[in-house]
């Protein structure tokens, strides 16, 4: 009898990105984003928003969506459309920029001294790259889990994320107890796969340390991952149907054509003027709602 030995999913690229202050840039639209689109950008952050010097400046986007997920500590949100609450482990902000938006201060310091997490950008398909802005703040209790995985985008293990994201994308936050293993099985037709470790260490066939991002071959095979015996390991893992369009890049925008990029950047400039006219929009807790125009 012949024995079939299943080899580990091949890692085609590893990176630790580059770090500037509390943020490590692991992927940009001009580098790994070209390989992993619709996943086009990934930051690992460790923010102290209690420090007035911390956090991001208000900045624009168009043609893409951002997903900010917390894996340690928490952040507070206070938005006229979504109310007030806290995002801690597994809680996330989903923001579809569509035709244009300004944001960057809608989350403020929470109860913990710091907040650690990932911000991911998704390139949108043509039918959504100029759609209306859509933002959600989803607290951890509203996000489904299956085994060690929290379902941030898409569906996995029979559970669907509440995020109003486009189809063909799976994005999970996983917490593996020390010494345990777990197998990620990409949905059918999702050959793109990658992971990034936030804390702890993976060992075995696919070793990775905190701060590492790994890209896998486009085979669609399962990926078995094992936490070290010393501590629990937290990571994000994504899989998707490939984005079939070229990426046209602005400073804060990703579109599917030059004409679409021009349209998005023109709307961003229009919104900038309206934002200036709107004046101080800061709320009592220090947050500033997303500006939709």
Write down all domains in the chain, each with its CATH number in brackets: 11-244 (2.60.120.10)
183 vs 197: CA distance, rounded Å: 16
Residue 292 — very low, low, confident or very high, per pLDDT cuts 50/70/90?
confident
Instruction: Classify burial at 158, counting beta carbons within 10 Å of its beta carbon; exposed 0-12, middle 13-18, buried 19 or more.
Output: exposed
Chain centre distance of CA 8 = 25
* pLDDT tens-digit series, residues 8-27: 899 999 999 999 999 999 99
Residue pair 254/123 in contact by the 8 Å Cβ criterion: yes
pLDDT at 57: 87
List Cβ neighbours of 19 (8 Å cut-off, separation of 6 or more): 25
What is the model's pTM?
A: 0.95
- List the end-to-end C-alpha distance of the chain, in Å, as a whole number: 67
pLDDT at 214: 98
Specify the residue for token string 């109860």.
111
């Amino acid at each position: 009898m012949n024995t079939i030995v299943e080899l580990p999913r091949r890692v085609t690229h590893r990176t630790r990105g580059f770090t500037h202050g509390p943020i490590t840039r692991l992927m940009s639209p001009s580098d790994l984003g070209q390989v992993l689109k619709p996943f086009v950008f990934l930051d690992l952050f460790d923010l102290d928003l209690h420090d007035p010097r911390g956090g991001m400046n208000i900045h624009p986007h168009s043609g893409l969506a951002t997903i900010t997920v917390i894996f340690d500590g928490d952040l507070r949100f206070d938005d006229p459309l979504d109310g007030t609450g806290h995002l801690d482990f597994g809680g996330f902000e989903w923001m579809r920029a569509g035709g244009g938006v300004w944001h960057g201060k809608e989350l403020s310091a929470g109860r913990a001294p710091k907040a650690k997490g990932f911000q991911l950008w998704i390139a949108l398909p043509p039918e959504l790259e100029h759609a209306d802005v859509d933002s959600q703040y989803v607290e951890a209790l509203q996000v489904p889990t299956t085994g060690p995985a929290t379902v941030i985008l898409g569906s996995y293990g029979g559970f669907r994320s509440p995020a109003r994201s486009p189809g063909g994308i799976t994005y999970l936050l996983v917490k593996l107890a020390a010494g345990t293993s777990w197998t990620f099985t990409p949905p059918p037709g999702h050959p793109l796969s990658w992971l990034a470790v936030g804390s702890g260490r993976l060992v075995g066939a696919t070793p990775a340390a905190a701060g590492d991002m790994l890209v896998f071959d486009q085979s669609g095979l399962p990926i078995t991952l094992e936490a070290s015996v010393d501590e629990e390991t937290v990571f994000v893992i994504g899989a998707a149907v490939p984005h079939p369009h070229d990426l046209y890049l602005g400073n804060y925008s990703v579109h599917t054509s030059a004409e679409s990029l021009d349209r998005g950047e023109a709307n961003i400039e229009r919104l900038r003027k309206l934002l200036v006219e709107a004046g101080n929009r800061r709320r009592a807790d220090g947050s500033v709602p997303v500006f939709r125009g």
